[in-house]
Amino acid sequence: MEPMNLQPFTFEGISTDRPLVIAGPCSAESEAQMVQTAQQLAALGIKIFRAGIWKPRTRPGTFEGYGSLALPWMQSVKEATGMLTATEVANVKHVYEALKAGIDILWIGARTSANPFAVQEIADALRGVDVPVMVKNPVNPDLELWIGAIERLYMAGVTRLAAGHRGFSTYEKTAYRNDPNWQIPIELRRRIPNIPLIIDPSHICGKRYTLFEITQKAMDLNYDGIIIESHIDPDHALSDAKQQLRPDQLGELLKKLVIRKEYIENGSLVTIEELRSQIDKIDDKIVELLEKRMHIAEEIGKIKKENNIAVLQTKRWHQIITQRMKEAREKGLSEHFIENIFRAIHEESINHQTRIMNEN
């Protein structure tokens, strides 16, 4: 596909300085809750109000939003504060009703972006409509699905697009509700350089105490905006209470943020933190591969023990080091550097095999 000719994700009367801030409650619970929250957010200088109108949960039986009944409350927010409004749409019906109610910005959630059929139907419904759309990453860590969802909208004529990073589901236990997996949005930006990246720390963190940490890291990685949940009484919110901030708490978080300068490299906007994040990801893979290599060495050690074969195989070691030194020369790497690395790896492999040999 040809490079996307995206239009700026900017809005009349709203500063283009980083970060663009979109804030409001997880769910629209009442007109009073919406307007009061919006008024306090507007007092902080925030110009875009978010709220979930349709809130299907993982399992039924919990609060799933008031649906279309809450759309007039969004209009009340606009009338009371002048803020733009944003909400999630998951199907064609949502699109039509949100546009009819004058919603200014739409976003596609993680479960929807994972479903190409649903995204295509929404894209078809938006064909010919000039409305900004943010596409959140799919629930599962699949970059191609994320890019595919963005491409479907772009091919339908939606050119004011942004990517929302809300983290990824994982079976592993982590400190976060959804694993940030920073390398995926970094790679998305490499593949689509002109798409704005907006961090959703609320859904990454799941708890208030890590919101600043994640938001600051996103700013260090040159993200363009923040979409964050804020509620006048978060402890009694009907959904996602633990991850929402009061407007005054959000104000303190925003004051603490350090927005770093960019530098230009090869015509692209890059930050040191982006590059460091890439290094961290590569280093993680190196450690993972070394672990796998040692497991294989142990299996070889078991075979050697069963067949009474010596641990050190000089011919094999000579073959390894000769081949790796040749590859180092071809790749412009220092032979001394590669030799030291593989001597250390070989020594560790010998240690693992020796331990196997000496086990009863």
In a domain, 6, yes or no: no
In a domain, 100, yes or no: yes
Let me know whether 205 and 333 are in one domain: no
**pLDDT tens readout for residues 96-122:** 999 999 999 999 999 999 999 999 999
Domain boundary among 247, 269, 291: 269
In a domain, 79, yes or no: yes
Let me know whether 44 and 155 are in one domain: yes
| SS (HEC) of the chain | CCCCCCCCCCCCCCCCCCCEEEEECCECCCHHHHHHHHHHHHHCCCCEEECECCCCCCCCCCCCCCHHHHHHHHHHHHHHHCCEEEEECCCHHHHHHHHHCCCCEEEECHHHHCCHHHHHHHHHHCCCCCCCEEEECCCCCCHHHHHHHHHHHHHCCCCCEEEEECCECCCCCCCCCCECCCHHHHHHHHHCCCCCEEECHHHHHCCHHHHHHHHHHHHHCCCCEEEEEECCCHHHCCCCHHHCECHHHHHHHHHHCCCCCCEEECCEEECHHHHHHHHHHHHHHHHHHHHHHHHHHHHHHHHHHHCCCCCCCHHHHHHHHHHHHHHHHHCCCCHHHHHHHHHHHHHHHHHHHHHHHHCC
Domain count, the chain: 2
Let me know whether 241 and 311 are in one domain: no
Let me know whether 60 and 204 are in one domain: yes
In a domain, 1, yes or no: no
Whether the predicted pLDDT of 271 surpasses 90: no
Q: What CATH number does the domain containing 88 carry?
A: 3.20.20.70
- Quickly state the pLDDT bin for 268 (edges 50, 70, 90): low
Let me know whether 178 and 295 are in one domain: no
Let me know whether 287 and 175 are in one domain: no
Domain interval for residue 35: 20-269
Please state which of the ranges 30-44, 117-131, 140-154, 232-246 shows the lowest mean pLDDT.
Answer: 232-246
**pLDDT tens readout for residues 138-177:** 999 999 999 999 999 999 999 999 999 999 998 877 889 9
Q: What CATH number does the domain containing 295 carry?
A: 1.20.59.10
In a domain, 13, yes or no: no
Whether the predicted pLDDT of 266 surpasses 90: no
Let me know whether 284 and 184 are in one domain: no
Domain boundary among 246, 269, 292: 269
Let me know whether 260 and 132 are in one domain: yes
In a domain, 280, yes or no: yes
Let me know whether 178 and 287 are in one domain: no
Let me know whether 236 and 299 are in one domain: no
Domain boundary among 269, 295, 324: 269
In a domain, 92, yes or no: yes
